[in-house]
Amino acid sequence: MFIPLNGLKFDNSFARLPEDFYSRVRPDPLPDPQLVSYNPRVGALLGWVGDDVPLACRDMAAGQWIPPGADPLAMAYAGHQFGGYSPQLGDGRGLLLGEVVGPGDTRWDLHIKGAGATPYARTGDGRAVLRSSIREYLGSEAMAGLGIPSTRALCVVASPLAVMRETPETGAAIARVATTHIRFGHFEYFYHRGEHRHLGELLDYTLARHFPALLNEVDFPAALLLQVAERTAATIAAWQAVGFTHGVMNTDNMAINGDTLDFGPFGFQDHYRFDYNCNHSDYSGRYSFDQQPAIGLWNLNALAEALSPWVNATERQAALTRYQQHYLKSYEQRLCAKVGLSAAQPGDRELLFDLLELLNAQQVDYTRFFRALSWDDPDTMVKSSASVLFSDPTPWLRWRDRLRTRLDAEPVSSKDSRREKMLSTNPKYVLRNYMAQAAIERAERGDFQLVEQLLYVVQSPFEEHAQADSWSGPIPFWAQSLELSCSS
């Protein structure tokens, strides 16, 4: 066991709530842990720096060492899973170690996944596997690198302990950091149990801890629901704009503050398809790419119902309407930025959605297309670098002509300024499934270098990385058949 010289400052406010909110559990240690990767950027958020910190993180994530001041607990919550209500879920294999007060009095939940079975594990073993842990480690940092609200990842560790899924897999654990782990399902848990006193306590806690400005509102529960609606809408609009599919948008996987939470069978679009479904366990396509905005509304409605003792029907409908309006506005703004428009004008929505229809019809590589468009000279059509991505470039060139006409109505600015903004909007790299799979396969053989390389690339996806240029090219043929499931 390695104990660092410097420590963390804890203030565990959630642990001061009534014990019906959680179960205190100590982690079940993983044997012989090996540090796969440590993320110093996240360590700095916690104010936890020093040469000895990576080894301390290894032992902490493996459950072999609990930092002084931590108070480990498994949260209780419920949720709608694939549309059906599950009254008892909770942290079946995760533990909230505590809340760290970082530089500038910032507050962060410190959480480990793969800590062993808890009272909420049902029949699960409470473990995590290296495959899914690496995917969450890289996936959450990829989202943060893209500027999308997300949980963060501190470190990932591997263990020789074999964990059974479809086949035996390498055991692992991940330490993640978040501004909150409160989910829509926390509110559903107490509402559907009829425990309105605890529901009120959770509401008061959430407002005081995460939305203190709303405490000045006369009707603060309704103000909270409106705030959650806007944050959720903005996050899902950001997902759609980068071609990200979450894969398991259950209400227990929806963070109250809009952060992207719980990375399972997620996927970034390769060849753009409206109906892209990254989870082969989702037989109906409920959580496919084009359904995400509607599912966000569905989930928000479930939260609104859970808050109904304090938020009346008119206020609940106002929040759902706000979600739809804010989503469309946010998505349109992001698409405008992707094609080089400074602000939306009448008629832009048709122009933008026609482009998406074209990309879908020809299944164009989504990320490569917008990156190529960023380099295009708006006065050039035939020589467009994006043209080669289309099997039939004729419809694209017609659309490109419409864009050029629209750009004539833009405020006067230099081409270089427009290009610079587009290059900071359209990433060169996203974490494609085959990239994560390549890192996983090497890590399972004990080689963690590719995990480190991809971490560096996805944390700065808008920059040029000469040593990783192959990751921005066409996806290999074998990668087109990769399938993912909820199993982790």
Residue closest to 61 by CA, chosen among 33, 24, 80: 33
Helix, strand, coil in percent for the chain, rounding step 5: 45, 15, 40
- How many residues are listed for the chain in this entry? 488
Angle formed by the axes of helices 433-443 and 449-459, to 10°? 150
Instruction: Extract the runs of DSSP E, i.e. beta strands, from 30-138.
Output: 34-38, 73-75, 79-81, 84-86, 94-101, 107-113, 128-129
Tokens of 305: 């119902």
Q: Are 70 and 142 in contact (CB under 8 A)?
A: no
- Alpha-carbon span 423 to 40, nearest angstrom: 26
Angle formed by the axes of helices 313-339 and 366-375, to 10°? 50
User: Which residues, at least 6 apart from 96, have a Cβ–Cβ distance to it below 8 Å?
Assistant: 14, 22, 72, 73, 74, 75, 109, 110, 111, 181
Q: Which element (helix H / strand E) includes 423?
A: helix 415-423
Measured CA to CA in angstroms, residue 79 lies from 87, 302, 323 at distances of: 7, 9, 20
Count Cα atoms within 13 angstroms, Cβ side, for 184. Answer: 30
Catalytic site residue from 59, 252, 270, 282:
252
What Rg, from alpha-carbon coordinates, does the chain have?
A: 23
Q: Is 252 a catalytic residue?
A: yes
Annotated active-site positions, please? 252
